[in-house]
Amino acid sequence: DTEVTQTPKHLVMGMTNKKSLKCEQHMGHRAMYWYKQKAKKPPELMFVYSYEKLSINESVPSRFSPECPNSSLLNLHLHALQPEDSALYLCASSHPPVSDTQYFGPGTRLTVL
Amino acid sequence: AQSVTQLDSHVSVSEGTPVLLRCNYSSSYSPSLFWYVQHPNKGLQLLLKYTSAATLVKGINGFEAEFKKSETSFHLTKPSAHMSDAAEYFCVVRRDGSGNTGKLIFGQGTTLQVKP
């Protein structure tokens, strides 16, 4: 099973709201990733967690706050977002050191009003 | 800088005809190369991965890709297109020296249209 799940599928929020995106995998993977994807563009890496520790932050604005409570779960907390943050947010996981292959979830479509 | 170039932004084929999606890459080392497919409003699905075990890599749904080091290419092919193959395809290379949790470098994507 190579399934990564993400909730919710769709999210609409105002610029003053606080919301969270959730990602889960039960493959025993110890690396998890957040990507942002705008329409007609490839995904852009935001954060990488390796063994529950933040290892890469691609200079993402502080209004995005990642959290990795355990090896199966990854959250992305959102606060005071801008309309330009509207995008598809993808989660992925991989299994270091065995493999560098990343498996992606279905994404959360975020709209910021 | 390391890069991935997908040579066609849009490819249109008729159902039942062959598919060729072209990808060139740059890498200093023996690269990890991937092809992913993304159907509308979906996540990315792994089609196949080059691991240096064999230059011809077979993937899911009848797709395969050939690694040619001399040409720095990793083109994706399928003998016979199906309507369900219509999607966005990304050629991806892992950034050199970035390890197993390293960054992926994505091509800009190729939109495959399949006509009945």
Q: pLDDT digits over B69-90, tens only?
A: 999 999 999 999 999 999 999 9
pLDDT above 70 (res B100): no
- Per residue in A16-59, pLDDT (tens digit) is 899 999 999 999 999 999 999 999 999 999 999 999 999 989 99
Assign B30 a pLDDT band (cuts: 50, 70, 90): confident
Confidence (pLDDT) at A100: 87
Contact B101 A50 (CB under 8 A): yes
Instruction: Give the number of beta-carbon pairs within 8 Å between A and B.
Output: 59
Confidence (pLDDT) at A1: 59
CA angle B104, B109, B110 (to 5 degrees): 145
Contact B109 A56 (CB under 8 A): no
Per-position DSSP letters for B4-64, written without gaps between them: EEES-SEEEEETTS-EEE-EEE--SSS--EEEEEE-TT--EEEEEEE-SS-SEEE-GGG-E
Contact B43 A105 (CB under 8 A): yes
Q: Which of A101, A108, A109 to mutate to test the interface with B (most CBs of B within 10 A)?
A: A101
Contact B43 A107 (CB under 8 A): yes
Contact A100 B102 (CB under 8 A): yes
Contact A55 B106 (CB under 8 A): no
CB-based contact, B50 to chain A, within 8 Å: no
Confidence (pLDDT) at A2: 67
Q: What percent of chain B has pLDDT over 90?
A: 78
Q: Which residue of B has its CA nearest to A48?
A: B101
**Beta carbons of B46 and B36 less than 8 angstroms apart:** yes
**Beta carbons of A22 and A62 less than 8 angstroms apart:** no
Confidence (pLDDT) at A9: 96
> Which of B9, B13, B5 lies closest to B82 in space, CA to CA?
B13
pLDDT above 80 (res B18): yes
Residue A52 CA to residue B82 CA, distance in Å, equals 41
Mean pLDDT of B2-24: 97
Contact B100 A31 (CB under 8 A): yes
Residues of chain A with C-beta less than 8 angstroms from the C-beta of B42: 106-107
Which structure tokens are listed for B109?
């994507």
Nearest to B107 among A2, A42, A48 (CB): A42
Residue A47 CA to residue A100 CA, distance in Å, equals 16
Confidence (pLDDT) at B29: 76
Confidence (pLDDT) at A41: 96
Q: Which residue has the higher pLDDT, A2 or B96?
A: B96
3-state SS, residue A84:
helix
Q: Which residue has the higher pLDDT, B58 or A2?
A: B58
- Per residue in A54-112, pLDDT (tens digit) is 998 999 999 999 999 999 999 999 999 999 999 999 999 999 888 889 999 999 999 99
Q: Which residue of B has its CA nearest to A5?
A: B43
Q: Which residue of B has its CA nearest to A32?
A: B101
CB-based contact, A97 to chain B, within 8 Å: yes
| DSSP structure class, residue B105 | E
